[in-house]
Structure 1
Amino acid sequence: MTSKTTGKLAATLIVAAMTTATAGGAWAQQASGTTGGTSTDSSSAGNTNGGGLPQIEQQGDVSYTSGGVGLDESRALLREQAHWPLSLRFTGPTADYLSGVHVRIVGGKGGEVLSTESMGPYMLVKLPPGSYTVYAKYKDQEKKQAVTVAGPGKAKAAFHWNIQ
């Protein structure tokens, strides 16, 4: 076979595959009864906030959100950091992003104000101004950092583990 024939054959196969994929997608929409929709929906699954920001949770007087596994969520959380008093980041070996980090935040007087699990590498927390200790536990390794919350976008803490 000549390279010209091979090139034509490859192009024909690509066009056939694309046509089949497009037709299959249209068939799937018809079969499910779903038509229309937009590609500009930037909400996350189960989220009413829009803009790709994960669902905001509430625990006592503290609001928080976490995620960032997908690119849209990561961008939304990074964009929103400036509006939240505390932002946390969790990474592993070779700067891998981590989820499933257990987070506890204790106030200056020793009272726990938040205990939850991170759904991704980023967590944003709304806390009143003050001094706090953030405990972050990944697998069996717990780390802690003192933070002073002074207003939106001011306090940041990054936690890094060398375990997988």
Structure 2
Amino acid sequence: MKIAIPSTLGVLVPGLLWTASATAAADAGGKVEYKIGGVGRESASEMKAARDQYPLAMTFAESIDGKAAYTTDVAVRIRDSNNDEMVETKADGPLMLVDLPAGRYRISAERDGKPIEREVEIASGDRRQMLFEFPSDETSHSIRPNDMTTRLPKPEH
């Protein structure tokens, strides 16, 4: 599923504004809780409010004619520094919030046979935002560099 947005990618990441319905789940091993956004105006507010409670926010997009379009059906796997699987799921929405403990992680995201792998380190109290932009068959744009991780300010309590 693709949801076209009328902004450039630079606006997409900082704002994290989208329409989404949310599904919450815990990985089969019960190690990590996560929330995935889908489609629906009411849940957009819910996902935006919940973002501050999760150390990692991931956005899945596809580059079409130089513009970002949210995308779904992304296979996501997160492994810790010991190569233990923390999460394995299919994201049926353009946003995934993950409650990871402090540590170093390797994240694999794959859509339509196009894999993207990234590493991220999360310190205690950190909030990280990552963009996974997949190339579209409709465009010749390449995947952006792996430095698409943003450290967000710590929430004030």
TM-score normalised by the chain length of structure 2: 0.66
Matched residue type, 2:23? Q
Q: Distance in 1 between matches of 2:39 and 2:125?
A: 23
Change (3 A) 1:162 1:53: closer
Q: Distance in 2 between matches of 1:73 and 1:100?
A: 18
* 1:56 aligned partner: 24
8 Å Cα contact 2:21-2:41 kept in structure 1: no
**Unaligned stretches of 5+ residues in structure 2:** 1-19, 138-157
Q: Which has the higher strand share?
A: 2
1:79 aligns with 2:49: yes
Q: Which moved more, 1:68-77 or 1:89-98?
A: 68-77
**Unaligned stretches of 5+ residues in structure 1:** 1-51
> Percent identity over the alignment?
27
Change (3 A) 1:152 1:87: farther
8 Å Cα contact 1:106-1:133 kept in structure 2: yes
Q: Distance in 1 between matches of 2:71 and 2:85?
A: 23
Q: Distance in 2 between matches of 1:152 and 1:76?
A: 21
Correspondence for 1:70 among 16, 40, 44: 40
* 1:124 aligned partner: 97
Higher RCO (CA-CA < 8 Å; seq separation 6+): 2
Deviation at 1:154, TM superposition (A): 1.1
**Backbone CA RMSD of aligned residues:** 1.8
TM-score normalised by the chain length of structure 1: 0.63
Q: Which has the higher helix share?
A: 1
Structure number with greater Rg is 1
Q: Distance in 1 between matches of 2:111 and 2:44?
A: 20
Matches within 5 A, 1:1-164: 54-59=22-27, 60=29, 61-93=31-63, 94-151=67-124, 154-163=127-136
8 Å Cα contact 2:32-2:98 kept in structure 1: yes
Change (3 A) 1:161 1:53: closer
